[in-house]
Amino acid sequence: MSNIVRIIISSLILIGTIALFVVGQWGWGILGIFITILAFVTVFFNENMLIAQFYLRKEKMDKANQWLNRITHYEKQLIRAQHGYYHLLLGLMESQKSPMQSEKYFKKALSLGLHMGHNVALAKLSLAGIAMAKRNKREATKYLQEAKRADKNKLLADQIKMMKDQMGMMDRQQIRYR
């Protein structure tokens, strides 16, 4: 559903809620406020992406993929601020199937813009993992440093440390085989 349609429906619900208060139906008016808030929230947060994220956290990839596939034309269905986040979710989905193919989604997410630091850190950490898999230590190190800078709340500190340890093990193995 288009965001314009959502705004129109939300506005009509708001008008109906105000009318309920005017005629003295306070109970229904309070319920109308909650419904109006819910309707306005769907303008800024796409319900398909929220449900897909829920299933991603539950590690039910098939259901998450179903909900993400309901977004057919993300340019029209999502507000501009959600475009990067949509590609981040696609990258996370693709990384479960074929990690090397997910690189394009993470790079697109970063180019479109992610507004929260931990999402930027997650995308950069994923790109670091892909670069490590390609045996590109310089690029992996660069992405790890950027991920550490972006992770201001230290939500991904353990994963970043684990990735650095794996890079150290890679270095030791290369020295051993020389």
pLDDT at 128: 92
pLDDT band at 173 (very low <50, low <70, confident <90, very high): low
Q: What pLDDT shows up at residue 23?
A: 95
* pTM of the complete model: 0.78
Sign, CA torsion 55/60/66/72:
positive
Domain 46-177: which CATH class?
mainly alpha
At 134-172, the pLDDT tens digits run 888 899 999 999 999 998 888 888 898 888 888 887 766
pLDDT of 178 > 90? The answer is: no
**Domain locations in the chain?**
1-44, 46-177
Amino acid letter, residue 118: H
Long-range contacts from 155-163, C-beta under 8 angstroms, 24+ separation: 155/118, 155/121, 156/118, 156/121, 156/122, 156/125, 159/125, 160/121, 160/125, 163/125, 163/128, 163/129, 163/132
Q: Which residue has the higher pLDDT, 29 or 178?
A: 29
What mean pLDDT comes out for the span 99-104?
88
What is the pLDDT, as a whole number, of residue 177? 57
